[in-house]
Amino acid sequence: MHAAIHLDLDGAADIYRVHGWKYEWDYDPLFETGLHHALEFFEQAGIRATLFVISRHLEDRRKRVLLEEAVRNGHEIASHSVTHRHLTKLSSQDKRREIFDSRERLMAVLGTEVLGFRAPGFQIDRESLELIAEAGYDYDSSTFPTATFARRVGVNSLRPCPHRLMDGCDLVELSLPPHHPLPFPFHPSFSLVLGRPYFQLGFHMFRKRKSPMVLLFHLTDFADPLPQAWLPGWKSRIYTLSHLSGASKRLHCRKIIDFVRNECQIVPTTMLVSEPYVRTPLRAKEVAR
């Protein structure tokens, strides 16, 4: 069984914006400490991850320096849109900007190929997938293989990943691991709140599918806690994982990696979406019920 390591680069300002909290500061210590520690963590573990970058962050010199370091260290760069807005709430024109402009900007500034896309909040629809394909991405990683996603995107997303969702289209879908009947995904951010046994249970359930796995981290998993004065309430402490020390979170993540390595071979995402792994679209008779 193979696994790819992903890291979504949502900073504190992005998290606050999603939840409607005011962010008043001109720098983002969650982003900076999170990515700094993540790069150290991956280097010590001998891992080359795929980093899903919000291209607006390139405008911040301090963030750009860390992203350039990530490229030098051999990590793959993928797009997490321009502004981290939910695509399903945008006009067709704005969707196009978020998908096309982010890829072009990341490649121009960081000087590296950008092959993958993940929609903020996993909010994806059929039109967005078609735009992702048109923009020249090789793969998307925004869905869970569930009936809900199948209905939303208008194609069958239930087949084990990676697979092509749409006939006549080369775009590959690299789904996130399903977690039903568990109430939440079991990636590390949730297991930092619910405990490592929750991750292990979800992993063993997923393992029965005999599919490659995406192990998704977030910057919150590695970052030092935000200052108490910056947190508008208990929800912000949980969603930024600021109720935990940075050291304890990184120890937890190391145990997660060690656990996965005992069960899987960790490989680059580009390997998982290469031709030998990819399944063809399902026939009409196989469409989700």
- The per-residue pLDDT for range 174-218, each reduced to its tens digit, is 989 988 889 999 999 999 999 999 999 999 999 887 788 999 999
Mark out the alpha helices in the chain (DSSP H runs).
12-19, 29-45, 61-72, 92-96, 102-110, 126-134, 147-153, 188-194, 196-207, 234-239, 246-263, 269-272
Q: Which residues contact 71 (CB under 8 A, 6 or more apart)?
A: 77, 110, 111, 112
Among 59, 107, 105, 99, CA closest to 80 = 99
Asked if residue 95 has pLDDT above 80, the reply is yes
Asked if residue 4 has pLDDT above 90, the reply is yes
Question: What pLDDT score does 211 carry?
Answer: 83
Mean pLDDT of the chain: 91
Mean pLDDT of 64-79: 98
Mean pLDDT of 232-251: 96
- Other Cβ atoms closer than 10 A to 44: 11
Better-predicted residue by pLDDT, 130 or 282: 130
Which domains are delineated in the chain?
2-278 (3.20.20.370)
